Structure 1
Amino acid sequence: MIRLSRRDAGQAFPIYVVMVAGLLFLVFAFFAVGKASALRNGAQGAADAAALAAARQARDDFEAGFLASLPEDMLDSYLRVHPVTGCTAADGLASANHAEVKYCLPIPGGYEDRIRVKVEGDKPVDSSVLPGSERTFATAKATAVIKFRCSWTSVDLNDDSIRDIFFFTCGKDFLEISPGSPPPWSKVSRILYDVHLVDN
């Protein structure tokens, strides 16, 4: 049997302390990395939700201009040049997902508009092993597209240069809109426009 002398045991003790301290540091470092990753994923979810909310609000805001363009057959002009809004909706969705909108940028593009959003999470990484992490917050970006997805024709029933009926073909969906008595926008806008996320 091999026995350590009291002197050998005393020399080994600092090594054990260093090893334990190193292991503890690694544990805290892995924890910090995991927390940072979780916060980053949360920020990305908030950015996605904010961008989609802004795009859906923008689609809702198209109603007045879209319907006003129909009777005089100005729809093509409207689709090519129209205002894009919607950023107020981004704030609420970001806040609900524990983040703050740093910027929300509508990008008009005619038949395909975009809204780009950047958010910052409201919780810091705050790790004792990462200097400055108490002031480090996760950020993320997302871009949503509002795309007009239909082809159309119109009919002037009275030969007065005013279009009375518009027929829209949107993939497998068919839609008829009479400018004089349009259907509720909430029902037709989801057929006319596709809203989805794209890579930044």
Structure 2
Amino acid sequence: MVAGLLFLAFAYLAVGQAAANRNGAQTAADAAALAAALDTRDKLADEWVENVLDPTKWRDIFDGNGVPFDGCGRADQLAAQNNATAACGIADELYPGYTVEVETNKAVGDSIVPGTENIHAKASATAVIEPLCTFPPLGEGAGDDVLPELTCKDDEKWKLDPEDLVDLPEPQDLFDVHLVD
């Protein structure tokens, strides 16, 4: 009876080890996907600030165009910090973003379950960059000396004065980055 209880205890330990490794892989995937998307979100926001006086470019920027999607380097860094290796690519979602698949560098390890000593946990995550602002089409309420009004999250209105562009929305006001799976 004692041998049976010891076997069960070791089996639960093995399952716990595998679950902890899997959770670590999911954490690494989530962090890597979010880091890649945040990196690109900041570049999109910078692109908008550079083109704030040219509202003809705003739609492309808010749609995720205008900057190269090169955040996978940041995803690789975050995966490495979480003791994993990442494979990163552009997400195929409603909004632009990244899908990251990771594999832990550390195997599940030796246990009473045969074959686990070389098994590495795998996980994936997708993070998207969702625009938070809308603005009227060009020609509706905007002239050469008036910029379109932005309506962003929580119906916050941004009336932009081309002569005084000191109080512009921050990246987190313009775009939301979140996990979709």
State whether residues 131 and 174 of structure 2, in contact with CA within 8 Å, keep that contact through their aligned partners in structure 1. Answer: yes
More strand by percentage: 1
Counterparts of 2:81 and 2:167 in 1: how far apart (Å)? 29
State whether residues 43 and 138 of structure 1, in contact with CA within 8 Å, keep that contact through their aligned partners in structure 2. Answer: yes
Q: Is the alpha carbon distance of 1:141 and 1:184 closer, same or farther for their aligned partners in structure 2, counting shifts above 3 Å?
A: farther
Alignment of 1:1-200 (within 5 A): 19-63=1-45, 65-66=47-48, 67-68=50-51, 71=54, 73-80=56-63, 82=65, 83-101=68-86, 103-107=87-91, 112-153=95-136, 155-158=142-145, 165-172=147-154, 173-177=156-160, 188-199=170-181
Q: CA RMSD in A?
A: 2.8
Name the larger-Rg structure.
Answer: 1
Shift of 1:178: 5.7
State whether residues 91 and 128 of structure 2, in contact with CA within 8 Å, keep that contact through their aligned partners in structure 1. Answer: no
The secondary structure found in structure 1 opposite 2:88 is strand
Counterparts of 1:122 and 1:180 in 2: how far apart (Å)? 54
Alignment length (residue pairs): 173
The secondary structure found in structure 2 opposite 1:112 is coil
Identity of aligned residues (%): 40
Shift of 1:156: 2.5
> What are the Cα deviations for residues 141-195 of structure 1, in whole angstroms up to 9, with x where unaligned?
111110012111463335xxxxx5242101332224467875588x521111011
Q: Is the alpha carbon distance of 1:146 and 1:119 closer, same or farther for their aligned partners in structure 2, counting shifts above 3 Å?
A: same
Task: Report the TM-score, using the length of structure 2 for normalisation.
Answer: 0.79
State whether residues 143 and 197 of structure 1, in contact with CA within 8 Å, keep that contact through their aligned partners in structure 2. Answer: yes
Counterparts of 1:184 and 1:93 in 2: how far apart (Å)? 32
Q: Which moved more, 1:48-57 or 1:125-134?
A: 125-134
Give the unaligned 5+ runs of structure 2. none
Q: In structure 2, what residue type is equivalent to 1:147?
A: E
Give the unaligned 5+ runs of structure 1. 1-18, 159-163
Shift of 1:106: 1.6
Q: Is the alpha carbon distance of 1:143 and 1:181 closer, same or farther for their aligned partners in structure 2, counting shifts above 3 Å?
A: farther
State whether residues 55 and 147 of structure 2, in contact with CA within 8 Å, keep that contact through their aligned partners in structure 1. Answer: no
The secondary structure found in structure 2 opposite 1:140 is strand
